[in-house]
Amino acid sequence: MNPRFIFETFLKLLPYLTVTLEYVSLSLLFGTLLGFLAAAAKLGRNRPLRWLANAYTTILRCTPSVVLLFLVFFILPAVMRNYLRINVDAWPALFFVVVTFTLFLGASQSEVMRGAYLAVDRGQFEAGVSVGMTEWQSFRRVVLPQAFFFALPNLTNTVIYLFKEGSLAFTIGVVDIMGKAYLVNATNFGLKALDVYLALALIYWPLSVFFEWLGRLLERRFGYTQVKPEAGKTAESVRGRGRSSIRGVRA
């Protein structure tokens, strides 16, 4: 192990972090939007849409990410050329990585969001419209912030997963930190593999820890929703209450 070489490699890899962060942030953005739409479809009343969203989730869940990446990389260009008359040959490989992870995140995020939405008692939404807010206002002001809180732990997980899983991008030629590490390793004929990948880990570790910390910070920021009000009692106690009030009448 050569600390000096590790450090030099670390510095060599660092610039490629922008590539990594690029597909992470873009996939996260589009994947979240897609997940939102899919979750809305699953929760909505439109049957065909609901079916479509469920099928999409199932198929994506059952496809390994490398497989999806290759499918997107090799099939999407053909589809776009033949059906949309768009030539994507010159487009950067990064595009296909983002498409792949967007599709993946869309599926997993849709489940996260669906669960988070259902975790917010519908009564609060009803209370919102009852004080004169529109349905959209009640959703945005009351349901969404709380659902976001419920989704946060999963969201943090997703970011870290994406950050690491993104290293697959190199298989279609995107040179991110993982890709660069692979290249550096190759120029050294694999003789310094341990040092190279240690340098790589020195980028992955602190950043993952940072994402974790960020997630926890946000959880605290939205943490007030953790305090749940006393849940309503059952019909049994309601009836009991009714009888007890008679004492009041007699008194």
Partner 1 sequence: MLAVTNIHKAFGTNEVLRGVDIMVEKGDVVVLLGASGSGKTTLLRCINFLELADQGHIRVGGIDIAFRDARKKDIHAIRRKISFVFQNYNLFNNKTALENVTEGLIIGRGMPKSQAVRIGKACLDKVGLANKFDSYPGQLSGGQQQRVGIARAVAVNPEVILFDEPTSALDPELIGEVLDVMKRLATEGTTMLIVTHEMSFARDVATKVVFMDEGNVVESGRPKEIFVKPKERRTRQFLQRFLGDSDYAI
Which residues contact partner 1 (rule: CB under 8 A)?
121, 123-124, 126-134, 137, 141-142, 145-146, 149, 222, 224-233, 235, 237-239, 241-246, 248-250
Other C-beta atoms closer than 10 Å to the C-beta of 232 total 10
The interaxial angle of helices 47-61 and 17-43, nearest 10 deg, is: 140
Alpha-helical regions (H) of 120-234: 122-130, 135-138, 144-165, 177-187, 193-221
Shortest approach of partner 1 to residue 246 CB, angstroms? 6
* Chain center to CA of 10: 28
Shortest approach of partner 1 to residue 47 CB, angstroms? 18
Nearer to partner 1, 126 or 173 (CB): 126
Nearer to partner 1, 3 or 229 (CB): 229
Shortest approach of partner 1 to residue 215 CB, angstroms? 18
Q: Cβ distance 166 to 97 under 8 Å?
A: yes
Nearer to partner 1, 87 or 237 (CB): 237
Nearer to partner 1, 47 or 243 (CB): 243
Shortest approach of partner 1 to residue 150 CB, angstroms? 11
CA distance 149 to 224: 9
* Token output for 165: 């899983």
Nearer to partner 1, 68 or 116 (CB): 116
Shortest approach of partner 1 to residue 133 CB, angstroms? 4
- In the three-class reduction of DSSP (H, G, I as helix; E, B as strand; rest coil), residue 96 is classed as helix
